[in-house]
Chains A and B, each alone.
Chain A
Amino acid sequence: MSSETTPAARTTGPGRLLVAVYAVFAVAATGRSAVQILTRFDEAPLAYTLSAVAAVVYVVATVGIARAGRASYWVAVVCCLVEFTGVVAVGALTLAVPEAFPHDTVWSAFGRGYGFVPLVLPVLGLLWLRRVRPRAV
């Protein structure tokens, strides 16, 4: 990929830790939603569809941060924004109308079930991406 895009490589140093955390979340969310959808989708279609969407976003974000290139950079930025919006929106909805979400998702109650990591992760992701922003964009 093009070498002029990233002054400091995106996946060295702190970026490495960020990719690791994202990768764990991608694997965890994908595995969890796959099991939920395959074994008991009928119980909570909304919650489990949401889990699957979250899982896809984490996978794409992981790849976006890990890969070089300007396109990957913007894919990663968009994913972080989607995640942040998702966790705030779903978090607020689960507290406002709990009866609509009888089953937990990754983003329920601002990601409380996952130690609020889903809330913090996109913020850290965006901060890191801003630091390694490609020149001349």
Chain B
Amino acid sequence: MVDALTTTIQTASLVLAVWCLVSSFRGKPMLVPHLVGIAVLEVLLLVQLVVSITLMADGHRPADTPTFVSYLATAVLAPVACAVWGFTERSRWGPAVIAFACLVLPVLMVRLEQIWNPLVV
């Protein structure tokens, strides 16, 4: 996996998490700027997906392929799921859900790295 890309996703995700927490504390629902943030995160995750598929097609294999693929699929679907959640919950709890997802994503990225290369923990 490409370290710089993973680090970028983690940073972007944490920034979005803090932003959404602030919005939640201020009682704001999910608004268009949040959606733009989610879209940026989703694009980064799709790049991660494409990079991983390319590496795997080249013969690189994670130590545990089924787990790796399921974690990656979950990561890619997470921003979409929380955007839908933000639309249905028009209160401060919409951004709260997004913030939670954005706190889970960096952990997912760490797990992906661990599964990809178990020696580097």
Q: Which residues of A contact B (CB under 8 A)?
A: 12-14, 16-17, 20-21, 24, 27-28, 31-32, 35, 38-39, 115
Contact = CB atoms under 8 A, between A and B. Distances in A.
Interface of B: 64, 66-67, 70, 74, 82, 85, 88-89, 91, 93-94, 96-97, 100-101, 104, 107
A20 B100 contact: yes
B85 A20 contact: yes
B114 to A, nearest CB: 12
A89 B66 CA distance: 30
A91 B25 CA distance: 33
A125 B73 CA distance: 27
- The main secondary structure of chain A at its interface with chain B is helix
Contacts of B97: 16-17, 20
A13 B100 contact: no
Contacts of A20: 82, 85, 97, 100-101
A21 B93 contact: no
Contacts of B74: 27-28, 31
Contacts of B96: 14, 16-17
A14 B24 CA distance: 11
A17 B101 CA distance: 10
A38 B67 CA distance: 11
A58 to B, nearest CB: 15
Contacts of B66: 35, 38-39
Contacts of A17: 93, 96-97, 100
